Amino acid sequence: MTALANRRSVMTLYADAADPLGHSVRLVLTEKDINVEIHFIDEESKPDDLHDLNPYSSLLTLIDRDLVLYDAQIMMEYLDERYPHPPLMPVDPVARANNRQFRYRIVRDLYSLAEELEGDNDIAAANARKSMRDNLLALAPVFSQFPYFMSEEFSLVDLCMAPLLWRLPRYGVKLGAPAKPLLKYADRLFDRRAFHLSLSPVEQEIR
């Protein structure tokens, strides 16, 4: 274990201030009021030891004493299990599996589009913008039936959705009247105290 991990007695998160996946992890931390040091970094300011700790050399890294995690979904589940209150995963095994599958699809279907929207290829960004709009409009009716994502209970799935919905103005995605249930859902997420506490300076400027 490198010196960076050994000298940390407090949980530490390294993240890009604009990264939506990193934002979802920060949301778990704030929802559970976990004592953590958050360091916003970029490729130029990344500590050298992170290259040894994170085999993929990605910025998002969670260090908790001798444990080092570098996948957002694993981080979120670890935090929910280690700090069980308030719970953000269902108890029932079937419901837990569905929760994981929803998050998998959100990352695969929507976060992948967000990467293209942040890229330099204008044609790819335009296509990604249309795809994200279509995907979100297809989801909108669900929120007429449930207050949260396919559930009566607030969960990790909602913490995956919130960063993307907050960034829609930045992505140039306009939904309009057909998305009213989804937009009301987004407002419920944004109204949470933990959401406001989670925002980085970069994210505060989006809205």
Statement: residue 4 has pLDDT above 70: no
Report DSSP state, residue 141: G
The CA-atom distances, in angstroms, between 72 and each of 9, 13, 33, 38 are 21, 11, 18, 15
pLDDT in tens, 147-176: 999 999 999 999 999 999 999 999 999 998
3-state secondary structure of 68: strand
Query: Per-residue confidence at 8, pLDDT binned at 50, 70, 90?
Result: low
Q: What is the pLDDT of residue 119?
A: 85
Tens of pLDDT, residues 9-58: 689 999 999 999 999 999 999 999 999 999 999 989 998 888 888 888 89
Contact 132, 173 (CB under 8 A): yes
Q: Is the pLDDT assigned to residue 104 strictly greater than 90?
A: yes
Q: How far is 132 from 1, CA to CA, in rounded Å? A: 41
C-alpha distance from residue 86 to each of 81, 90, 94, 153, 156 (Å): 10, 11, 20, 11, 11
Least confident span in 22-26, 119-123, 132-136: 119-123
**Average pLDDT in the chain:** 93
65 pLDDT more than 80: yes
1 has pLDDT over 50: no
Q: What are the residues whose beta carbons fall under 8 Å from the beta carbon of 188, sequence distance 6 or more?
A: 147, 148
> How is residue 98 written in tokens?
């569905």
| Mean pLDDT of the region 102-130 | 94
- Token code pair at residue 162: 């919130």
Is the peptide bond preceding residue 20 cis, with omega within 30 degrees of 0? Answer: no
For residue 78, the one-letter residue type is Y
pLDDT for the residue 9: 66
Domains along the chain? Answer: 3-82 (3.40.30.10), 93-192 (1.20.1050.10)
Sign (positive or negative) of CA dihedral 26, 89, 190, 192? negative
